[in-house]
C-alpha cells in the first residue's frame, strides 16, 4: 500500500487533546491527599510501630496519671482554684502535655541509631515523625480531656464550664503544636528554639499568671464557640506544618534536632 495515500483523515484537535489527557491520566498516579496518606501510613505501620518501645507508652501513661493526681491535689487544696485559675491552668497545661510527649520523641531521635536506615525506607523518618506528631497531638487532646472531665467531677459544677474548658484546651494545644512544628522546621539554631520556647512560656505566664488585679487575659472572657473557629484555624496550620515535615525529604531538605 502506498503510505502517501492512506485513507484515514488525521484526528481532530479535540480528539487529540482527549487522547493525550487519557494517556496522562492513566500513566500518572492520582495525587493522594495528605490525610489519606497519613491514614495509609498508619494502617501500614500499625500502632505498635508508632511508639518506639514500651518506655514511650509507659511515659505517656505516667504523664496521664501524674496530671490526674496533680489536678486532684490542686483542686482539693485551693477552693478558689476552680473559679479563678482553672481556665488559665488549662490553657498552659494542654501544650505542656504535647511538649512532654514530643520532646521525648525528639530527644530519642537525636540518639536514634537507625536514623539513616529509616530515612532510606519507603516511609521516611520524617514522614513517620509527622504521623507521630499527629498521634501525639491526638493523645495530648485525649489526656487533657480526661483531666478536664476529672476536674468537672471534682469542682463546683456552677463555676466550671466543661465545653469551654474542652474547646480552650484543644485550641491552646493546636496553637502550641503548630508553633512547635513551625519553629522546628524553620529555625535551625537549637539556642534560638530554646529562646522562642521560653518566650512563649514567659508570655503565657505574664498574660495568664495571677497578679494584684487578676490577670491580663482571662481565657473565659471569650465564649466557647469562638474557640471552635480558632481551634480549626490552628488545626489547619498544624496540619500544614505536618505536611511540610512529611514532604521535607522530597523538597530536598532535612530537619535536625
Partner 1 sequence: MLNVHQVSKNFGSFQALRSIDLEFANGVYGLLAPNGAGKTTLIKMLATLLFPSEGEITYNGENITAMDARYRNLLGYLPQQFGYYKNDSPQKYLTYIAALKGMSQAEASPRIAELLKLVALEDVAGKKMKKFSGGMIQRVGIAQAMLNDPKILILDEPTAGLDPKERVRFRNLLTSLARDRIVILSTHIVSDVEPIAGEVIMIKDQRILYKDTVDHLCRRIEGRVFETYVEHDEAETFRSRYLSLSEKQESSRLKIRFLHEGEAMPGWTPVMPNLEDLFIYTYRDGQEQEDKEPAK
Q: Which residues bind partner 1 (CB under 8 A)?
A: 44-46, 49, 52-53, 112-124, 127-128, 249-254, 256
The residue (of 128 and 175) whose beta carbon lies closer to partner 1 is 128
- Residue 86 CA to residue 74 CA, distance in Å, equals 10
The answer for residues whose C-beta is within 8 angstroms of residue 64's C-beta and 6 or more apart is 143, 146
Q: Report the b/e string of 156-188 with b at 16+ CB within 10 A.
A: eeeebbbebbbbbbbbbbbbbbbbbbbbbbeee
The three cell numbers of residue 67 are 496530671
Least distance in angstroms from the C-beta of 27 to partner 1:
12
What is the smallest separation between the CB atom of 53 and partner 1, expressed in angstroms? 8
Report in angstroms how near the CB of residue 5 gets to partner 1 at its nearest.
38
Q: Which long-range contacts (CB under 8 A, 24 or more apart) does 35-40 make?
A: 35/239, 37/246, 38/130, 38/131, 38/134, 38/242, 38/246
Q: How far is the CB of 228 from partner 1 (least distance, A)?
A: 35
C-beta of 7 vs 252, nearer to partner 1: 252
The smaller minimum CB distance to partner 1, of residues 84 and 118, is found at 118
In the bound state with partner 1, the residue whose beta carbon lies nearer, of 65 and 257, is 257
Amino acid at each position: 500500500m502506498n503510505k502517501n495515500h492512506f485513507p484515514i483523515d488525521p484526528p481532530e484537535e479535540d480528539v487529540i487533546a482527549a487522547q493525550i489527557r487519557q494517556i496522562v491520566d492513566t500513566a500518572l498516579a492520582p495525587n493522594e491527599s495528605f490525610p489519606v496518606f497519613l491514614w495509609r501510613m498508619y494502617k501500614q505501620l500499625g500502632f505498635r510501630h508508632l511508639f518506639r518501645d514500651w518506655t514511650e507508652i509507659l511515659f505517656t501513661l505516667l504523664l496521664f496519671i501524674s496530671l490526674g493526681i496533680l489536678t486532684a491535689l490542686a483542686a482539693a487544696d485551693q477552693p478558689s482554684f476552680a473559679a479563678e485559675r482553672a481556665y488559665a491552668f488549662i490553657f498552659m497545661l494542654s501544650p505542656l502535655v504535647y511538649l512532654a510527649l514530643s520532646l521525648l520523641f525528639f530527644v530519642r531521635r537525636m540518639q536514634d541509631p537507625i536514623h539513616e536506615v529509616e530515612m532510606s525506607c519507603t516511609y521516611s523518618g520524617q514522614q513517620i515523625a509527622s504521623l507521630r506528631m499527629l498521634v501525639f497531638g491526638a493523645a495530648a487532646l485525649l489526656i487533657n480531656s480526661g483531666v478536664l472531665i476529672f476536674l468537672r467531677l471534682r469542682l463546683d459544677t456552677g463555676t466550671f464550664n466543661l465545653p469551654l474548658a474542652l474547646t480552650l484546651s484543644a485550641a491552646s494545644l493546636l496553637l502550641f503544636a503548630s508553633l512547635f512544628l513551625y519553629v522546628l522546621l524553620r529555625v535551625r539554631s537549637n539556642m534560638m528554639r530554646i529562646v522562642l520556647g521560653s518566650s512563649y512560656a514567659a508570655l503565657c505566664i505574664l498574660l495568664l499568671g495571677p497578679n494584684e488585679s487578676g490577670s491580663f487575659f482571662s481565657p473565659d472572657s471569650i465564649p466557647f464557640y469562638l474557640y471552635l473557629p480558632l481551634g480549626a484555624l490552628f488545626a489547619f496550620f498544624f496540619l500544614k506544618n505536618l505536611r511540610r515535615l512529611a514532604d521535607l525529604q522530597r523538597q530536598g531538605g532535612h530537619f535536625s534536632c
